[in-house]
Amino acid sequence: MPVVAEPEQESEAQLEARFEAVINRKDRVEPRDWMPDAYRRTLVRQVAQHAHSEIIGMQPEGAWIGRAPSLRRKAILLAKVQDEAGHGLYLYSAAETLGVSRQELTEMLISGRQKYSSIFNYPTLSYADVGTIGWLVDGAAICNQVPLCRTSFGPYGRAMIRICKEESFHQRQGYELLMTMMRGTDEQRAMVQESVDRFWWPSLMMFGPPDDESPNTARSMAWGVKTHTNDELRQRFVDMTVPQAKALGVTLPDPELVWNEERGAHDFGQPDWDEFWDVVKGNGPCNAQRVAHRKKAWDDGAWVREAALAFAAGDGSDTSSDTSSDTSDGPRTA
Amino acid sequence: MTSEIRGEWPLYEVFVRGKRGLNHVHVGSLHAPDDQLALRHARDVYTRRNEGVSIWVVRSSAITASSPDEKDPLFAPSGDKVYRHPTFYDIPADVPHM
């Protein structure tokens, strides 16, 4: 006699109703739950794009590890770039619960079928950029990511919680780096301002196109995947950043930026959306370089992945001879 | 699905004990060629800031999970047994230490 009754075959409509009920209760959807195909596809796209951004995001800053101005800065930058790798792995792990494989995702990235955040298609021209990326780019990422901790898909939200905990170090190290430079020479202050000038507009673009040109936003919000619109988050970021810029002593390169007493928020200019779409389409300063670098790392690592598998599946003959020499009690010569 | 992709390392689920006295809690997953490397990778990916004192890794394929579709029948047996909860029993307010 079966202990567990056979589950009744539910109609699509019943399944959909139950899914909607979970969403409306602001409960979480978990990997083994039934979900509409479009919801699954939206999440795969968003989580994968987010994972790719973390991985590609290692490149602009990683380029400066070998040229860090002190051992302290080098250790910090290494730790930060390691975190980006970790964040990518958390997110790939979340994406996989939706039924895609990590390898597929990597192949989609290097063949250009999936995107990553356009911000990483801009070059890092000076060490000040390491600070600016921490302050502005990670600051914008935090604005985006904090609400995503409550996104409707459980594994994505849990990955975001983990990431947000670590992200605060990223922003603070960047701001501290810039503060240090601002206390330095005129030349160093000019480097900071120049860097902020280059990264301000691309940072605003990180929130995506304006709400009236973001066709997926309404549906993502109805599903609880997104909880705020692009423009809401962009506004929040500007309002948070203005006093930080003032404390730092830099000017944000927007002549329209002004406090609006009535709204209780800053008015600000629009980024160049033509440039945004152009970079999304692959024509940014570093698109080709970023993907080529990722592809090279993937191709160059193929033998390692294969060798590790072969070793794990191995017959042990190589291992046993290694082990016997390792456990030998005899003295070792240098 | 995942395991059939050519040459992909198997998937492991990772559980971390935050400190002594707490349960191991599921934190995510990762790919590794074997158990030992899965532990190493779990340390690098999930405990970069002393998040744990102990890690378990287990092949995802070794986990048997209840199906969400069975939720009602599977958990039904405990649903109507309110007498398993202490609040089911009325005890006069003047009875001490109960």
Q: A66 in the Ramachandran plot: left (φ > 0), alpha (ψ -120 to 50) or beta?
A: alpha
Interchain contact, B69 vs A30, CB within 8 Å: no
**How many residues can be counted in chain B?**
98
Contact call for B2 and A158, based on CB within 8 A: no
Q: Write the ipTM.
A: 0.83
Confidence category of residue B77, pLDDT binned at 50, 70, 90: confident
A82 interfacial to chain B (CB closer than 8 Å): yes
Give pLDDT, residue B68.
Answer: 75
pTM of the predicted model as reported, rounded to 2 decimal places: 0.88
Whole-number pLDDT of residue B71: 64
Sequence-separated contacts (24+) of B75-82 with Cβ below 8 Å? none
C-alpha torsion angle, residues B32, B37, B39, B42 (rounded to 10): -50
Contacts of A33 in chain B (CB under 8 A): 68
Which pair of structure tokens corresponds to residue B84? 């398993």
Contact (CB, 8 A) for A253 and A196: yes
Angle, CA A77 vertex, CA A74 and CA A83 arms, to 5°: 140
- Please state the length of chain A: 334
**pLDDT at position A10, please?**
75
Interchain CB contact of B54 with A (< 8 Å):
no
Q: Are strands A258-260 and B24-31 parallel, antiparallel or unpaired?
A: unpaired
Residues 311-330 of A with CB under 8 A from B: 311-312
- Reduced to 3 states (helix: H, G, I; strand: E, B; else coil), residue A304 is helix
CATH of B2-65, one of 2.60.40.10, 1.10.287.130, 3.20.10.10, 3.10.20.520: 3.10.20.520
Give me the tens of pLDDT residue by residue for chain A, a chain 334 residues long: 455 555 566 788 999 999 999 999 999 999 999 999 999 999 999 999 999 999 999 999 999 999 999 999 999 999 999 999 999 999 999 999 999 999 999 999 999 999 999 999 999 999 999 999 999 999 999 999 999 999 999 999 999 999 999 998 999 999 999 999 999 999 999 999 999 999 999 999 999 999 999 888 889 999 999 999 999 999 999 999 999 999 999 999 999 999 999 999 999 999 999 999 999 999 999 999 999 999 999 999 999 999 999 999 885 444 444 443 444 444 444 4
User: Is the Cα dihedral A184, A190, A194, A196 positive or negative?
Assistant: positive
Contact A5 B11 (CB under 8 A): no
Specify the residue for token string 């939720």.
B71
Task: Tell me the Ramachandran region of residue A101: left when phi exceeds 0, alpha when psi lies from -120 to 50, beta otherwise.
Answer: beta
A2-8: Cβ within 8 A, 24+ apart: A4/B70, A4/B73, A4/B74, A5/B73, A7/B67, A7/B69, A7/B70, A7/B73
The arithmetic mean of pLDDT across residues B33-54, rounded, is 95
Q: Best mutation site among A1, A4, A158 for testing chain B: the one with the most B CBs within 10 Å?
A: A4
Question: Does A278 reach chain B within 8 Å, measured CB to CB?
Answer: no
Q: What pLDDT does residue A6 have?
A: 53
Q: What is the DSSP string of B80-92?
A: T-GGGSGGGS---
Encoded tokens for A134: 């921490």
Q: Which residues in chain A are closer than 8 Å to B67, comparing Cβ atoms?
A: 7, 32
Sequence ranges of the domains in chain B: 2-65
A94 contacts B28? CB cut-off 8 A: yes
Q: Tell me the two tokens of residue A274.
A: 């033509």
**How many A×B Cβ pairs under 8 Å?**
68
Q: Residue A320: what pLDDT? A: 42
Calculate how close chain A gets to B59, using CA atoms only, in Å: 14
SS3 B7: coil
Instruction: Tell me the HSE value of A18 on the side-chain side, using a 13 A CA sphere.
Output: 15
Among residues A89, A203, A90, the alpha carbon closest in space to that of A142 is found at A203
DSSP, res A5? P
The predicted pLDDT at position A3 comes to: 54
Mutate to test the interface with A, among B47, B69, B70 (most CBs of A within 10 A): B69
Coil vs helix vs strand at A320:
helix
Encoded tokens for B81: 């047994």
Closest-CA distance, A256 to chain B, in angstroms, reads: 42
Residue B63, chain A, CB below 8 Å: the answer is: no
Measured N-to-C along each axis, helices A287-300 and A37-56 cross at an angle, to the nearest 10 degrees, of 90
Give the minimum alpha-carbon distance from A9 to chain B in angstroms, rounded to a whole number. 9
Residues of B within 8 A of A107 (CB-CB) are none
- Give the mutation candidate from A1, A78, A309 for the B interface (greatest B CB count, under 10 A): A309
Which of chain A's residues have a Cβ under 8 Å away from the Cβ of B45? 86, 89-90
State the DSSP H helix or E strand holding residue A310, giving kind and residue range, or none if neither.
Answer: helix A302-313
Indicate left, alpha or beta for A328 from its phi (over 0: left) and psi (-120 to 50: alpha). beta
Strand order in the sheet with B24-31: B24-31, B11-17, B54-59
SS3 of residue A256 by DSSP = coil
Please report, as a single letter, which amino acid is at residue A191.
M
Show which of residues 18-77 on chain A sit within 8 Å of chain B, judged by CB atoms: 30, 32-34
Nearest to A309 among B7, B27, B28 (CB): B7
Report the distance separating Cα A45 and Cα A171, nearest Å: 26
C-alpha distances (whole Å) from A244 to each of A240, A251, A277, B82 are 7, 10, 29, 56
Q: Span B13-35, mean pLDDT?
A: 96
Q: Answer whether B45 sits within 8 Å of A86, measured CB to CB.
A: yes
CB B28 to CB A159 under 8 A?
yes
DSSP string, B11-39: EEEEEEE-STTSPEEEEEEEE-SSHHHHH
B45 touches chain A (CB under 8 A): yes
